[in-house]
Structure 1
Amino acid sequence: MERLFRFTEHGTTPRREMVAGLTTFLTMAYIIVINPQIMAAAGLDAGAAFVATCLAAAIGCALMGLLANYPIALAPGMGLNAYFAFAVVGGMGVSWQVGLGAVFLSGVIFLLVSLAGFRQWLINGIPLSLKLGMAAGIGFFLGLIGLKNLGLVVAHPATYVAMGKISDTPVLLGCAGFVLIAGLGARRVPGGIVLGILLTALAGVPFGLTHFNGFISTPPSLAPTFLQMDLAGAISLGLAGIVFTFFMVDLLDNAGTLIATTHRAGLMRPDGSVPRLGRALMADSGGAMIGAILGTSNTVSYVESVAGIQAGGRTGLTSLTVGVLFLLALFLAPLAAAIPAFATAPALIYVACLMAHSLKALPWEDSTEYLPAILGAMAMPFTFSIATGIGLGFIAYVAIKTVAGRARDVHGAVWLLAALSAVKFSLD
């Protein structure tokens, strides 16, 4: 294990890595419940989608841990699953089988550009300022999800968002959970985030907010969705726009998450480049293809991995632990589903606060660098889309540099990504 994961080199231990894996799993376990519901809305069998979700996450995590040795977990992506179910299948009238075929094709394109080294050129060409903005923006996005799951932020027809009812018991318990996690973090208590999540969940039992409806169940059959993708249909219908959208969102989401997590873990090089990037990208692209084969939308890197990184995760054993826990979740679905949103939301908010620290390193003396980074960071939570925020950041970077007479400072990769982002926005 030492030769494979290099614990000593990364200043960690197997125990710390496994605790970090448990932390990451608990913060992203909601996907086990939410993704099958979204897939069912597209017509897929909910039981099969549950199994596909767990297996796709387990295989994706194993690929990331063993190929790239990164503490980054993968699972079917939020946002991409909604686009699949409500825009492609529901809005365009495409069958879910053809939709899965489009997902698979986008994964193939993803893999090809990764093997060619093209995607490494793209990501390494992104300036450090935009990478720092991505890290903070993803933190803000994560914070909004946490506040929404907690009930502290709610929808409002006039102001779009408003404050929820803070006197509600789940909100109070979640706020107490955040204070507990923050206090344990300040004391540097190992596994403080996991402990905070579990104690917050247990606190909901007397109020009837946390329910344990058994512990073990037999996994449903995967047959209704396994290998049901329709590649011929996806090609014959000419779904180039759909495949391109899946590819672009997958590219930008994965790039942003990879940058944010490696920066938080201290694994990013001083020049902003990411070591072992090619292997990490192969794991990401492989995850998208595997998800389609099993019967779910794109499998992507999860920003919730930062929770495990904050708990001390630095190697692939963290992601491998998450993968094993997803396999166990096949049989322990009632237990995994018993952790309520108000118990995991404080961890998301806490991690979001930590990720804002990356803004400190922005070159504040150069407005052509920090303005696009801040704009992209702000856009992520306000548009509720990581990909949109990143795309707007690219476009703003090119535009501001050009108007300032510094177009030559812009890397070719940024020009390309800005152009692709503009094309994507025009197709939306």
Structure 2
Amino acid sequence: MATDNTPARTAASDSFLDRYFGLTAHGTNVRTEAVAGLTTFLTMVYIVFVNPAILSKAGMDYGAVFVATCLAAAIATFIMGLYANYPIALAPGMGLNAFFAFTLVLTYKYTFQQALAFVLISGLLFIVISVTKIREYVINAIPMNLKFAVSAGVGLFLGIIALQSAGVVVDHPATLITLGNLMKPASILFIIGFVVIAALNSRNVLGGTLIGILIVAIAGLPLGLSEYKGLVSMPPSIAPTFLQFDFSRVFEATAIVVIFTLLFIDLFDTAGTLVGVAHRGGLLDEEGRLERMPQALLADSTATVVGAGLGTSNTTSYIESAAGVAAGGRTGLTAVVVGILFLLALFFSPLAEMIPAYASAAALLYVACVMTRGLAEIDWEDMTEYAPAVVAAIAMPLTYSIATGIGLGFITYALVKALAGRWSEVTPAVWILAVLFGVKFAVS
């Protein structure tokens, strides 16, 4: 009797999934969506190792951040799949986590609890933007070349963090930075890890980043650079980061700049990722627009609020979702599969704790290279466009601050355009931001 009923149950299940996600209408099926979800997960699962490594620099509990990362990614991706019905996965954003740890906590001297409060507020503002027509104004008001510059600058910022973490770059009293000792085992394994990750990804090897991390982590075991702590266990406690908000400094002038920076990066990174992934999957309408952009932006902004409550930096859409789209993912079912896999990842915390700094730094440098590609998209024929973009991009790593780079970019853009007699090309939003950043630099 059980055998006779099994096909009926499967057919009913497939029928429900087809109706909910529109599988047939999108030319896909459950198996294809499942494979696509696994593909996306393997390309971005490195975040469960890298995010705790970065945020622990800010004094946050490694195990709690690991759990927060998995839960934030799972919940956010479920929202994107079930509400917006897009095959796009989310997780704590690279660059935003570095800004959180190295700029907000280590440079500006905020506590991580205060920084989490800023993340929460930026997420709430993102929700307001997502449900109103403000989103079109904000997205269209910022010059495209500055958007490319921010992405590239964040990449350069991640690059120098990765090189410092691995000891390849060290401080120097005369030149600020210089070459470290490349003969140290950790530095050697870092270089090998980066090369392996880059090579595997260039050959489109599924999970290439994860494979590279694990190879050099295992190689460090006999050298005493990493320690085997097992593979599977119950998840650590999330209590050290859960709802750990401190709003005591949210009304300071610098805090306003910080919140804007978090919102700015999150919003444009999300919009760019959504359009890019949708374009690759043929999910744009005839006019090249994303039909459910409001729902997708709302899912993304809600994810940041949820992530802040759990204890991690801004959660955002991942460009790695394109790997799942290339594997045939076309609906939110792909995202749901990714969310389930992130929940399963919760039970691999011992493996995450085994990953040494040099191994996660290798992945960080690879991500830096991917993000720095934004420089290629800049208009290099117009000095008034590329000069501010270059200032913004190089200022981020050299000042060790994403916010400073963005500020200098906006100020330079407005002034160069004005002195070149091209006032009309500067939107009111750019002037306002340039003035705000100018005041911030003057009083800080």
* TM-score of the alignment, normalized to the shorter chain, above 0.5: yes
What is the SS of the residue equivalent to 1:158?
coil
Which deviations, in whole Å up to 9, do the C-alpha atoms of 1:234-275 show, x marking residues without a partner? 5xx883546524421211221353366458758499x99887
| TM superposition shift of 1:400 | 0.7
Q: 1:249 — aligned with what?
A: 261
Q: 1:411 — aligned with what?
A: 427
Q: Which among 9, 12, 15 is matched to residue 35 of structure 2? A: 15
Q: 2:99 — aligned with what?
A: 79
Which deviations, in whole Å up to 9, do the C-alpha atoms of 1:193-227 show, x marking residues without a partner? 33323222222233232322122333344456655
Which deviations, in whole Å up to 9, do the C-alpha atoms of 1:53-104 show, x marking residues without a partner? 543343334334555536453328333356665678x66xx995x7765654
| TM superposition shift of 1:308 | 6.3
What is the SS of the residue equivalent to 2:98?
coil
In the TM superposition, 1:290-309 aligns within 5 A as 290-294=306-310, 296=311, 298-301=313-316, 305-306=318-319, 309=322
What is the SS of the residue equivalent to 1:155?
strand
Compared CA separation, residues 126 and 113, structure 1 to 2 (3 A): same
Q: 1:24 — aligned with what?
A: 44
- Cα RMSD (Å) of the superposition? 4.0
Compared CA separation, residues 364 and 334, structure 1 to 2 (3 A): same
8 A contact 2:233–2:347 mirrored in 1? yes
In the TM superposition, 1:222-371 aligns within 5 A as 222=238, 226-227=242-243, 229=245, 234=248, 239=251, 241=253, 244-258=256-270, 261=273, 265=277, 267=279, 277-294=293-310, 296=311, 298-301=313-316, 305-306=318-319, 309=322, 323-371=339-387
What is the SS of the residue equivalent to 1:332?
helix
Amino acid in the other structure paired with 1:110: F
8 A contact 1:60–1:283 mirrored in 2? yes
Question: How far, CA to CA, are the matches of 1:394 and 1:274 in structure 2?
Answer: 28
| TM superposition shift of 1:405 | 0.3
Which deviations, in whole Å up to 9, do the C-alpha atoms of 1:282-318 show, x marking residues without a partner? 3343234324434x3643438xx45665786887677
Compared CA separation, residues 288 and 132, structure 1 to 2 (3 A): closer
Question: How far, CA to CA, are the matches of 2:288 and 2:399 in structure 1?
Answer: 26
8 A contact 1:58–1:324 mirrored in 2? yes
Q: Which among 174, 184, 199 is matched to residue 183 of structure 1? A: 199
Amino acid in the other structure paired with 1:21: F
Aligned residues: 411
Q: 2:223 — aligned with what?
A: 207
Amino acid in the other structure paired with 2:173: P
TM-score under structure 1 length normalisation = 0.78
Q: 1:148 — aligned with what?
A: 164
Q: 1:198 — aligned with what?
A: 214
8 A contact 2:232–2:348 mirrored in 1? yes
Question: How far, CA to CA, are the matches of 1:152 and 1:273 in structure 2?
Answer: 44
Q: Which among 376, 386, 400 is matched to residue 402 of structure 2? A: 386
TM-score under structure 2 length normalisation = 0.75
> Gaps (5+ residues) in structure 2?
1-16
What is the SS of the residue equivalent to 2:45?
helix
Compared CA separation, residues 391 and 324, structure 1 to 2 (3 A): farther
Amino acid in the other structure paired with 1:60: A
Q: Which among 38, 49, 60 is matched to residue 58 of structure 2? A: 38
Question: How far, CA to CA, are the matches of 1:219 and 1:357 in structure 2?
Answer: 37
| TM superposition shift of 1:357 | 3.5
What is the SS of the residue equivalent to 1:59?
helix
What is the SS of the residue equivalent to 2:178?
strand
Question: How far, CA to CA, are the matches of 2:160 and 2:387 in structure 1?
Answer: 22
8 A contact 1:36–1:53 mirrored in 2? no
Compared CA separation, residues 306 and 103, structure 1 to 2 (3 A): closer
Q: 2:14 — aligned with what?
A: none
Compared CA separation, residues 144 and 116, structure 1 to 2 (3 A): same
Q: 2:78 — aligned with what?
A: 62
Larger radius of gyration: 2
1:171 maps to 2:191: no
> Gaps (5+ residues) in structure 1?
none
8 A contact 1:310–1:351 mirrored in 2? no
